[in-house]
Amino acid sequence: MEFSAQQIADFLNGTVEGDGVVKVGNFSKIEEGVPGTLSFLANPKYSQYIYDSNASVILVNNDFKPEREVKATLIRVENAYESLAFLMSVVEQSKPKRIGISASVEISTSAIIGKNAYIAPFVYIADDVKIGDNVRIYAHCSIEEGTQIGDNVTLYSNVNLYKYSILGNNCIVHSGVSIGADGFGFAPAVDGVYKKIPQMGNVVIEDDVEIGANTTIDRATLGSTIIRKGAKLDNLIQIAHNVEVGENTVIASQTGISGSTKIGKNCIVAGQVGVAGHLHIADNTILGAQSGISNSIKEPGQMIMGYPAIQMKTFQRAAVVHKNLPELQRVVYELQRKVEELQAKLATK
């Protein structure tokens, strides 16, 4: 299906510059644009590509000022990246959805399946599971007893939901995710042997959460591990038992969050961050990549980085000094030698 630049602009409350009649039927990156596609420019470092791009239509921010002529038709919007995401979501939602339950699925007689479900081959659904409407479950997923899944949820292949897990509406869970495995709970005995502590809680995933491939979220020892509404988790993240991730917080790949830590809402956690257990991270905190967080962050809105973690600007200044340490060491040794020479001369007088 094709749409004209003017139709797209009207849909986005944008403004057309150029040929409003030109039509597009697909998307492309700005540096690889081809005729008949729509692209976008949101990051200024890609501005160089807009002048030679062969995309027919390009979304730009309202404040974009071209340095020379642009061949493509421009649609000016408030936020080009957000507008592109909205368009792509509309296109994705308009695609036909599969429905029906494969004959090779094993479903308990006590399970409840909502309307318009799609359940692929080799899915296992245990006793007392409740699944909402318009849910899509792909091949080889396992849903253990007592689990509850809301409406419009997608589980991609090989997702494992342990018993009594709860997923809200509109969640997306990618392949290989494990939700509800036992937390890492062991007590050392007097003989030095570690005794397993039974993990009696569950995992609660609220509405509009997306979880990336091969991420693991452990069940609580008691109570619930909770991922709040709108949170987005990347691939390969470890969330330990009794952790709470706040609303609309985003966490990048290879981050590990230790048990019972509470992360506030609207936080940004970059890649390979390690967070110790039993901490509180305030709302709107930004944790830089590879940071090690060993103490609670009580003041909201801070940017933190490094190990031990400090203010990001302080870390950046310290990094410059660290880079120059060999030269600084040479200067110190030279000063030390001169001081010793002066002391020797004074001692002879």
Specify if 331 maps to a domain. Answer: no
Contact 163, 142 (CB under 8 A): no
Does the residue 263 lie in any domain? yes
**Catalytically annotated residues:** 241
Lowest mean pLDDT among 2-11, 94-103, 245-254: 94-103
- What confidence tens digit (pLDDT) does each residue in 164-180 have? 999 999 999 999 999 99
Cα–Cα distance list, 211 to 9, 67, 159, 186, 310 (Å): 32, 41, 11, 27, 29
- Determine the pLDDT at residue 183: 93
Residue 324 has pLDDT above 90, yes or no: no
Flag whether 31 is in a domain: yes
Q: Could you give the C-alpha distances from 46 to 4, 6, 38, 52, 286, in angstroms and in order?
A: 24, 24, 15, 11, 25
- The answer to whether residue 343 sits within a structural domain is no
75 domain-assigned? yes
pLDDT of 162 over the 90 cut = yes
Distances (CA, A) of 298 to 16, 73, 282, 305: 47, 48, 5, 15
For residues 74 and 199, give the distance between their C-alpha atoms in angstroms, rounded to a whole number. 56
How many domains, in total, are found in the chain? 2
Residues 30 and 144 in one domain: no
For residue range 103-130, list pLDDT tens digits in order: 999 999 999 999 999 999 999 999 999 9
Last residue of a domain, one of 94, 109, 127: 94
Local confidence band at 322 (pLDDT 50, 70, 90 cut-offs): confident
Best CA proximity match to 100, nearest among 71, 66, 137: 137
Least confident of 155-164, 236-245, 254-263, 308-317: 308-317
Q: Alpha-carbon distance 156 to 141, whole Å?
A: 8
Q: pLDDT (tens digit, 9 = 90+) per residue, 278-298?
A: 999 999 999 999 999 999 999
Helix (H, G, I), strand (E, B) or coil at 227: strand
Domain range for residue 260? 100-313
CA angle in degrees (0–180, nearest 5) for 145-150-151? 135
Find the mean pLDDT for residues 253-271: 98
Structure confidence at residue 339 (pLDDT): 92
DSSP structure string for 312-326: HHHHHHHHHHHHTHH
Mean pLDDT of the chain: 95
Indicate the SS3 state at residue 102: coil
